[in-house]
Structure 1
Amino acid sequence: MSMPTIKQIRAYTVRGGGADYHDQGEGHWIDSQISTPMSKYPDYRMTRRSFGLNVLGTLVVEVEASDGTVGFAVTTAGEIGAFIVEKHLARFVEGQRVTDIEKIWDQMFHATLFYGRKGVVLNTISGVDLALWDLLGKIRDEPVHALLGGPVRDELQFYATGARPDLAKKMGFIGGKMPLKHGPAEGDTGLEKNIAQLAEMRESVGPDFWLMFDCWMSLDLDYATRLAQRGREYGLKWIEEALPPDDYWGYADLKKRVPPGMLVTTGEHEATRWGFRMLLEMGCCDIIQPDVGWCGGVTELLKISALADAHNTLVVPHGSSVYSYHFVVTRTNSPFSEFLMMAPQADEVVPMFNPLLLDEPVPENGRMRASSLDAPGFGVRLNPDSDLARPYTH
């Protein structure tokens, strides 16, 4: 049977939740006071929406094959990403066989080098790549994890990211990662408040439950070092993304300064094998956390993971729901997964990309059977009631 070709690629935008999970309504924990690189300015300290964290919105990419099969994926790139897909990347996708994913990725990346390399351009390339993998899985009537070599374990286990690790423990998760509230601009008073929060949560969850701090690129080396040293008393398992993404030298120093046994993790806002090569070769961290919707898609994540495996470094992708689950279940160096608690008060398990995706699986008692990922492609459908807009065509 001849392999279908790609007839058309289309790019849509949508607001409110979806892949741009920061685009939430009032009162959501994800928009509460969280330490950010903008926290040094009091006007932008109390909410992340105040400095524009939710401005991009979700990008939806559809790829239609010559036999009528449609693959799709979502990521954070909004109207900028839609423009890039329709006006630039489409030429490298349309007319190609649905199996030509590696060539398409290489052409998209090198054609955008002069204005890309990271950020929203790589988010966009990731969205196209994920849509191509979804399409190939549907053409072959196989889940993406089968295309990647098949599961290496029968189930996934999860830690929860959200404001209530105490509730996450009751829901069966193996750990809870809290957003750090106070950054360096709030001085020792803020540091003490962070430690008090950790101490209170440790008292609530007991000695064996993982507790971590997500610092979201907001600290300096001195503050991160003090936070890690103080956190040791309360069993802080890791300190995540403490420094700006490009401060590889700072991460290398931080890894040497943290207490023995405490992990340094980062990579959520890193992209491509070249960015992660810096983290790995400079000994910056114990766990890398690429987001498959931002780092270059599955095609690039496979290369990043191989690099990490050679450096004896774990790969635990940032959030991204089914797009990371299909990858994690096939990798021996990805022993657990992150689950973002997207309920406004982090008090129940809801699908990460709700309401944009249908059939999106969620953990039960902190676990997910590999068999729940056996539908073709990534196993999810685009909600037909979504208010999609196609701002550009080609």
Structure 2
Amino acid sequence: MATPTIRQIRAYTVRGGGGDYHDQSGAHWIDDHVSTPMAKYPNYRASRRSFGINVLGSLVVEVEASDGTVGFAVTTGGEPAAWIVENHLARFIEGAKVTDIELMWDQMYNATLYYGRKGLVINTISGVDLALWDLLGKVRQEPVFHLLGGAVRDELQFYATGARPDLAKEMGFIGGKMALHHGPAEGEEGLRKNLEILTDMRAKVGPDFWLMQDCWMSLDVNYATKFATRAWHEAGLKWIEEALSPDDYWGYSELRRNLPRGMLCTTGEHEATRWGFRLLLDMNCCDIIQPDVGWCGGVTELIKISALADAHGVLVVPHGSSVYSYHFVITRHNSPFAEFLMMHPVPDQVVPMFTPLLLEEPVPTKGRLKLPETPGFGVRLNPECKLHRPYTH
């Protein structure tokens, strides 16, 4: 049988959750006084939506093969990303064999170097890449994790990110990560409040449950060092995550040296490509890297990032991204567990991360998940979510 080629690529936008999980309405823990780089401005401190964290919305990429098979993926990017797909990247996808994923990635990346390299453009390339892996899995009638070499363990185990690690413990997760609420601009009072929240949660979960703190790029080296040191001694904090600007490799290297022995420094959620992660690894910036497969370059690039990390003795625990990271983590020895974003507003129950956009999205039970053998990434688009195709080619 001849290998199918790609007949068409299409890019859609959709609002309300989905790939852009910050695109929430109403009260939600993910938007409740979380420390950010904008928190130094009082007007933008209480809500991340106030400074526009949800302005892009979700990007949905569909790729249709010559045999009629359709693959798709979702990520963040919205209308600007849809324009890039339809007006620039389509030429490298349409007409290519469904197996030529490495070639398509290289052409997309090099053709956008002059305005890309990171951020929105790599998000967009990631969405296309994930759709191509979904398509290949469906053409071959295999789950993506089979294409990546097969599972190295029977099931995934998870820690939970949300506002209630105590509830996460009851649900069977191995740990809980909270968002930091108060940044350096709120001074000693903010630092005290941060430590009070953490020590209160430690009292609720007991001494052995993992507690981690997500600082979302909002601290400086001195504040991060002071907070981490006290958090280690007062609350047994397991790791401090993304404490600094993703461009401050020198600061991360210093912070890691400053941390109490035994505490982990983690980052990489907003890093991209093997070259960005090479800097983190070569400069000994962290103990765990956390690439988001929907933002770092897709599965094709995550394979290379993971190999680099393995050679440096650094773990890879991808940021969120649901099935797109699950299919990767299950195939890698240096990815021993995964993150689950608790997208329920409280959160007091487990709901699919990309709700309501994806159907049949698997969720962990008692902190564990056995991946189904469904072709591709094993999910479908919810027909009740109205897609908009703002551009055509």
| TM-score normalized with structure 2 length | 0.99
Q: Name the structure 1 match of 2:387.
A: 388
For each residue in 1:325-351, what CA deviation from the matched residue of structure 2 results, as whole angstroms up to 9, or x when unmatched?
Answer: 000000000000000000010110000
Q: Name the structure 1 match of 2:48.
A: 48
Q: Name the structure 1 match of 2:252.
A: 251
For each residue in 1:208-229, what CA deviation from the matched residue of structure 2 results, as whole angstroms up to 9, or x when unmatched?
Answer: 0000000000000000000110
For each residue in 1:265-293, what CA deviation from the matched residue of structure 2 results, as whole angstroms up to 9, or x when unmatched?
Answer: 00000000000000000000000000000
Runs of 4+ in 1 over 6 A off after TM superposition: none
| Residues 1:228 and 2:228 aligned together | yes
Distance 2:230 2:359 in 1: 43
Q: Match of 1:265, SS?
A: strand
Q: Match of 1:373, SS?
A: coil
* Aligned partner letter, 1:252: S
- Contact 1:126–1:296, Cα closer than 8 Å, also in 2: yes
**Pairwise CA distance, 1:389:** 0.2
**Pairwise CA distance, 1:390:** 0.2
* Aligned partner letter, 2:226: R
Q: Name the structure 2 match of 1:269.
A: 270
For each residue in 1:53-103, what CA deviation from the matched residue of structure 2 results, as whole angstroms up to 9, or x when unmatched?
Answer: 000000000000000000000000000000000000000000000000000
- Contact 1:326–1:373, Cα closer than 8 Å, also in 2: no
**Pairwise CA distance, 1:386:** 1.1
Q: Match of 1:177, SS?
A: strand
1:197-212 to structure 2, matched below 5 A, reads 197-212=197-212
For each residue in 1:281-336, what CA deviation from the matched residue of structure 2 results, as whole angstroms up to 9, or x when unmatched?
Answer: 00000000000000000000000000000000000000000000000000000000
For each residue in 1:165-195, what CA deviation from the matched residue of structure 2 results, as whole angstroms up to 9, or x when unmatched?
Answer: 0100000000000000000000011000000
Distance 1:337 1:201 in 2: 22
Q: Name the structure 2 match of 1:313.
A: 314
Q: Match of 2:240, SS?
A: strand
Q: Name the structure 2 match of 1:379.
A: 378
**Pairwise CA distance, 1:232:** 1.0
Q: Match of 2:238, SS?
A: strand
| TM-score normalized with structure 1 length | 0.99
- Gaps of at least 5 residues in structure 2 are none
Q: Match of 1:11, SS?
A: strand
Distance 1:143 1:321 in 2: 15
- Gaps of at least 5 residues in structure 1 are none
Q: Name the structure 2 match of 1:6.
A: 6
Q: Name the structure 1 match of 2:284.
A: 283
Distance 2:6 2:256 in 1: 46
Q: Name the structure 2 match of 1:182.
A: 182
1:117-128 to structure 2, matched below 5 A, reads 117-128=117-128
| Residues 1:29 and 2:38 aligned together | no
Count of residue pairs brought into register by the alignment: 392
Distance 1:168 1:80 in 2: 36
- Contact 1:123–1:295, Cα closer than 8 Å, also in 2: yes
Q: Match of 1:12, SS?
A: strand
Identity among equivalent pairs (%): 76
Q: Match of 1:294, SS?
A: coil
**Pairwise CA distance, 1:384:** 1.2
Distance 1:259 1:386 in 2: 47
**Pairwise CA distance, 1:373:** 2.8
| Residues 1:142 and 2:142 aligned together | yes
Distance 1:245 1:131 in 2: 27
Distance 2:174 2:352 in 1: 18
